[in-house]
Amino acid sequence: MSSIVPAEWAPHRALWLGFPSHADLWQSNLGPARDEVAALARALATVGGEHVRLFVHGREALADARARLGDVSGVELVPGSFGDIWLRDTGPLFTDGGKKAVSFRFNGWGGKYELEHDDTVARQLADLSASLLKSHDFVIEGGALDHDGFGTVLTTRQCLLNANRNTHKDLPWTEAIAESALRKSVGASRVLWLGDGLLNDHTDGHVDNLARFIAPGVVCCQQGTGDDDPNTAAYDAVAEALSGALDARGQPISVVRIPSPGLQHGADGEIVPASHMNFLIANKAVIVPTYGDDAVVDALRPHFPHHVVLGLPSRAILTGGGSFHCISQQVPA
């Protein structure tokens, strides 16, 4: 069995964060997305107790990041090459105090967004972290998995079993094969399977938008907000699927429900996959994306008594398809 991926609440020695760097991808949202990422980096360094390693592509982006954050203690600007900022998916998962890292084959979320350099990000971050990288020849994104640090992995069938990720001539990619792959790569001894993710989530249902471990044996998921919340059924299915479930220690899972952002539309009128589940658990703070309502901060605060819980806006980052968790990757201490 491979080394177990630590829980996100375990101490970090560094936190990687992607900085929006491509005007052709972000267009009119480039400046607002940079504003939001800069606010997140500043909060992580000043309140969250993190050494933030801001991964930046290109001279223009580096100059912009330096102007915004060059004077912030605890934020290090690191030049590199990437297609876009979703380091949770393109980067590696770190284990063993950051001495080791695990990566998977990356195919642009099922062939939807194949950008130059994204398939090299895992190697870059591992090398820059002085981590020994072990690569696996199957497709999994980091945001498709959530870990409790004891070998329990939370994931969704919609993503992990999707034929656009892994196909075999003679053998389908089944739950059993996926569980074997997770056992060999991230030390999973128990996999908790959920169903579908959020509506219009181009990741095909990443679990870090749906449900997250917040403590040993405790999973947080959302409660539908308003009669028109498009994901109420998906949220309720999470709670039902985990009812009576056991973790890798044989302990029962308890489920915490917090309010969702409710129905949210993009500038084009399309429903967007806004989620408070894309929060970051830093060394001293939990930073949760907000969409015009900070009630979620009060809902989360009792569950993180040893952390400061902050809400920061994430509407511009969401135009690219994700939020705070998606653009980050922690290196354990």
Residues assigned a catalytic role = 326
Q: Which two tokens stand for residue 233?
A: 């059924």
Q: Which two tokens stand for residue 231?
A: 């994901």
**Cβ atoms of residues 135 and 120 within 8 Å:** no
* Dihedral angle sign, alpha carbons of residues 39, 73, 124, 150: negative
- Rounded-to-integer distance, Cα 99 and Cα 113, Å: 30
3-state SS, 215-264, equals ECCEEEEEECCCCCCCCHHHHHHHHHHHCCCECCCCCECEEEEEECCCCC
Number of H helices, E strands in the chain: 11, 16
- Rounded-to-integer distance, Cα 65 and Cα 71, Å: 10
Neighbour tally for 253: CB within 10 Å: 20
* Burial 257-285, CB ≥16 within 10 A → b, else e: ebbbbbbbeeeeeeebbbbbbbbbbbbeb
Alpha helices, DSSP H, located in the chain: 23-26, 30-46, 59-69, 87-90, 108-111, 121-128, 157-160, 175-186, 232-242, 295-300, 315-318
- Rounded-to-integer distance, Cα 317 and Cα 311, Å: 14
- Rounded-to-integer distance, Cα 165 and Cα 120, Å: 18
Distance of CA 113 to the CA centre of its chain: 17
- CA distances in angstroms from 138 to 115, 168, 202, listed in the order given: 18, 11, 19
- Rounded-to-integer distance, Cα 261 and Cα 114, Å: 29
